[in-house]
Amino acid sequence: MTRARKTQWFTALAMTLAAGWMFKIFLFDFSPLPPTSTYPLDLDRLRSLAGDRDLPLRVNSVRIADGAFPEYVVVAGGNRTPVPMAWQTFQVVYADKTVIIDPAQDRARHQAFKFAGAYHDEGWDSMQTALARASLILVTAEHWDHLAGVTASANVELLLPHLLLNEKQLENTTLLEEAGLDAGMRAKVQSLAYEGAHAVAPGMVLLPAPGHTQGSQMIYVRLQDAEELLFVGDVVWSTLNLERRAGHSRLVANLSGEDRERMADQTRALVDLGEHAERGRVHLLIAHDGALTDELIAAGIVGDKLE
C-alpha cells in the first residue's frame, strides 16, 4: 500500500470513528436540563389546594416486581452498569377511605418484559386486596406498568368504577389498549378534565405533567402530620436523573415517544425543588426507584404494607 493510500485509509477511519463518536454523544450522552424551569410546580398553590381539613393519615407502598435497566437507558451519559428498577404501588390512607396510585402489572406482563427480574406474588395479592377496598384509583401515566393491576385483576369489573383517568389519559387509546383497557372498560371508568393543579381529594392534588405520555401527571399529597410527598411517576426513572442533571437519552426518549423538552423542564423543576430548602421538605416518590422508597420506609415516612 502506498503512503498516499495509507493516508487516505487512516483519514477515512478517523472520520468514521469521529462520526460514530458524535453519533453516540447525540443519541446516548446528551440530554441536558434547561438552566431554569417554566413548569408550574408552585408549592404554595399546591398547599392551598390541598387544604388543612380531613387530610390523609399516611402513605403505604408495596413492591410488585423488580428488574434492571442499563444505566445508559436510565440517564443520558450512563454506562452499561445495571440500575435496579422497581415496580411499586402506593396507597394513601384516610380515616374513612383509601386511594391507590399506580396499580402495577401482573406476572405475565412482567415476565414478557425484556428487563424483568423477580416478581412478587405476595405483593400482587396485597395490591389486589387493597384495590378492592379503595374508593379511588389513580395512575401517573397510562402505560401498562401503571395500570395492569386493574385490567388484569380477577375483580376488574368491580374496580373500573373507582378508576379515575384524566381526559388526556383517556384519549390515549393506543397505550390504554396495550394496558388491557379496551373500549368497553373505558366506558366504565371515571373521567376528569382539568387544567393546572386540581384537588381530587382533601390533601391530594393532581398536577398535569405531559411529556412521558400525553396524560402523565404528578400527585401531591399532604398528610395530617405535615409531611408532604410528591409522586412524580415517570418524569424521571431514578434519582440519578436528578443527581446528574440529565434526562433519558435522546434514543430512549424517541423510542418511547417522549417529549424531551417538556420532561427536561419538569426534571429541572424537581431539581430546583430539592435545592430550595426554604420552600419546605417535600419527599419525592419516583415510580421505579425502589431504593428511594426504601429510604422513606426506613425513615418512617412511608409504610411498607398496604391496608
For range 175-185, the mean pLDDT: 98
Alpha-carbon gap, residue 181 to 8, rounded angstroms: 59
**pLDDT recorded at residue 21:** 38
pLDDT in tens, 58-108: 999 999 999 999 998 899 888 899 999 999 999 999 999 999 999 999 999
Would you list the domain boundaries of the chain?
Answer: 1-30, 40-298
pLDDT in tens, 114-125: 999 999 999 999
| Close Cβ partners of 305 (under 8 Å, ≥ 6 residues apart) | 60, 62, 126
**pLDDT recorded at residue 31:** 67
pLDDT-derived band at 26 (thresholds 50, 70, 90) equals very low
Position 16 pLDDT exceeds 70: no
C-beta atoms surrounding 77 within 10 Å? 16
Q: Quick check: helix, strand or coil at residue 53?
A: coil
Least confident span in 26-30, 38-42, 185-189, 213-217: 26-30
Name the DSSP letter for residue 170.
Answer: H
Compute the mean pLDDT over every residue in the chain, rounded to the nearest whole number: 90
For residue 277, report the phi and psi dihedrals to the nearest 5 degrees: -65, -30
**pLDDT recorded at residue 279:** 56
**pLDDT recorded at residue 85:** 97
For range 32-51, the mean pLDDT: 94
Which tops the pLDDT comparison, 3 or 258?
Answer: 258
pLDDT-derived band at 230 (thresholds 50, 70, 90) equals very high
**pLDDT recorded at residue 249:** 76
Q: Quick check: helix, strand or coil at residue 258?
A: coil
**pLDDT recorded at residue 250:** 72
pLDDT in tens, 231-285: 999 999 999 999 999 988 777 766 678 898 999 999 999 999 987 755 558 999 9
Q: Which amino acid is at 298?
A: A
pLDDT-derived band at 224 (thresholds 50, 70, 90) equals very high
**pLDDT recorded at residue 6:** 44
Position 297 pLDDT exceeds 70: yes
CATH of 40-298, one of 3.40.710.10, 1.20.1630.10, 3.60.15.10, 3.40.190.10: 3.60.15.10
pLDDT-derived band at 32 (thresholds 50, 70, 90) equals confident
Identify which of 130, 79, 82 has the alpha carbon closest to the alpha carbon of residue 103.
Answer: 130
| Close Cβ partners of 81 (under 8 Å, ≥ 6 residues apart) | 70, 71
